Amino acid sequence: MISAEQLKEAIPLSKVAAELNIPISGHGNGTCPFCDHKSFSARGDVFYKCYRPACPTNNRSSGFKSGDIFTLLIDSGHATDFRSAHSILRRLYDGGAGRQYEVRTSNLSSIFQAYRRAAVAHPVDYLEKRGVRYATGTYPLGYSPSPTFLQDNGFTWQSILDCGLGTKREGYELFSNRVIAPIYDSANRLIHLQGRSLDAESDLRWLSTTQHQPNVSECVFNIQHLDRWKSEFGFVFLTEGWTDCYSLLELGLPAIATFGIQANLLRHARAFEGLRLIAIYDNDTFDWGHSNQGQYKSWTQMLPELIRLDQHSSVEIHCVIPPARSGIKDVNDWLNYIEWDKDRFLDYCESKMKTLFQTAFEIYSPQPDQFPLIVEAAKSTRRSEDLDQLRNLITQNSDWLEFILNHVRT
Ligand SMILES: [Zn+2]
């Protein structure tokens, strides 16, 4: 039987809403279709929530903190329980959504096999330089030597277009002279490919397959290995992009990655359950003169997402900011600096690991407009020293007192 997770991955929230004439889209804030209040928000085309406590969506006994495609059917009266919701969604899946998904994943798999053979035939210098030598056996990467590589290997132009690997210029494929990473869903189905250019002059360093939900930015690289890593390690590193992820795999450490910093982690909350997530994003900051000067570029974007994940799941999240040393920006620079010494890397992580609150405090303070995020992060802390720090701040800083008073008034 197809699992609830597989249905959720294959069928976007907005599609279910459209099929059943429920007036919501899968993204952003709006009016709640169940109580008519403007306190409704949907995220990532997967979850929705109405923030009005009296809303019927908050009184169901399903135990979900946020609604998904299953509760949407229950909230809207189309299904009475999980089982009947499952059979409606199964019909939607069989009626098109799922078949398209399956056809695409199987076509992408054959294409990736061809790229994989090319990577073995032309060992790629770029990977050697990144320290990625052995990991590629267990965690394969592909390579495309030319813009007609797939056609030269017998793939039709139509099948290339259907997989989101064509360009506007007929006969020219999306990937040429690129290392290619396979992106799977949690059920181990290949759903996207992302190619990194090996041409230093290229304007578009990263290119991904398009035309298919979920978008690449909604995916988590290596998510298909989480179940195995749960029992083997109990923790996993979360990095910015798959190249840093490969550097850690090379050391024999479990690592997943978001695609840059436009990520949606909440969507994968179930897959993370039972794991300790150790986030390592780049340590570079905005230049002086920029409106966010001095602030960490990636962390300011990613931390709200990590806080949301923490609040909607029981995932234990820690953060490690790479050492502030010239020449070290990301995990790969760092590993090069310490000559790929795994113990040294782990010792540093162990001693410098911070809670979400401590990280929020370090990257946002003391800017008053970031107080709400620091307070949100404090909700997740289980450490009394974090709360003491918050107490000191509030009592010693009139901006904080003002913020809290305003917060109470509105
Ligand atoms: Zn509502």
Domain regions of the chain by residue span: 4-80, 104-213, 223-353
Cα(75) to centroid(ligand 1), Å: 10
Cα(53) to centroid(ligand 1), Å: 8
Asked if pLDDT for residue 64 goes beyond 60, the answer is: no
- Classify domain 104-213 by CATH number: 3.90.980.10
Question: For residue 120, what pLDDT is reported?
Answer: 82
Question: For residue 346, what pLDDT is reported?
Answer: 97
This prediction has a pTM of 0.79
- Taking phi over 0 as left and psi of -120 to 50 as alpha, with beta for the rest, 177 belongs to left
Cα(54) to centroid(ligand 1), Å: 8
Cα(31) to centroid(ligand 1), Å: 8
Cα(86) to centroid(ligand 1), Å: 23
Question: For residue 12, what pLDDT is reported?
Answer: 86
pLDDT digits (tens, 9 = 90+) for 260-287: 887 888 878 888 888 999 999 999 888 8
Distance, in Å, from the CA atom of 113 to the CA atom of 406, rounded to the nearest integer, reads: 58
Distance, in Å, from the CA atom of 50 to the CA atom of 283, rounded to the nearest integer, reads: 36
Average pLDDT for the chain: 86
Q: Judge contact between 81 and 74, C-beta under 8 A.
A: yes
Distance, in Å, from the CA atom of 238 to the CA atom of 37, rounded to the nearest integer, reads: 37
pLDDT digits (tens, 9 = 90+) for 320-367: 999 999 899 999 999 999 999 999 999 999 999 999 988 988 887 656
| Confidence bin at 122 (pLDDT 50/70/90) | confident
Which of these, 385, 238, 374, lies nearest to 317 by C-alpha position? 238
Cα(194) to centroid(ligand 1), Å: 38
Cα(46) to centroid(ligand 1), Å: 17
Question: For residue 63, what pLDDT is reported?
Answer: 46
- Residue 240 token pair: 């910015």
Environment of ion ligand 1 (residues, CB < 5 A): 32, 34-35, 50, 52, 55
Which of these, 304, 205, 234, lies nearest to 264 by C-alpha position? 304
Phi, psi of 375 (to 5 degrees): -65, -40
Cα(100) to centroid(ligand 1), Å: 33
- Classify domain 223-353 by CATH number: 3.40.1360.10
Identical fold between 104-213 and 223-353? no
Cα(58) to centroid(ligand 1), Å: 8
Cα(190) to centroid(ligand 1), Å: 36
Cα(41) to centroid(ligand 1), Å: 10
Cα(36) to centroid(ligand 1), Å: 6
Cα(137) to centroid(ligand 1), Å: 50
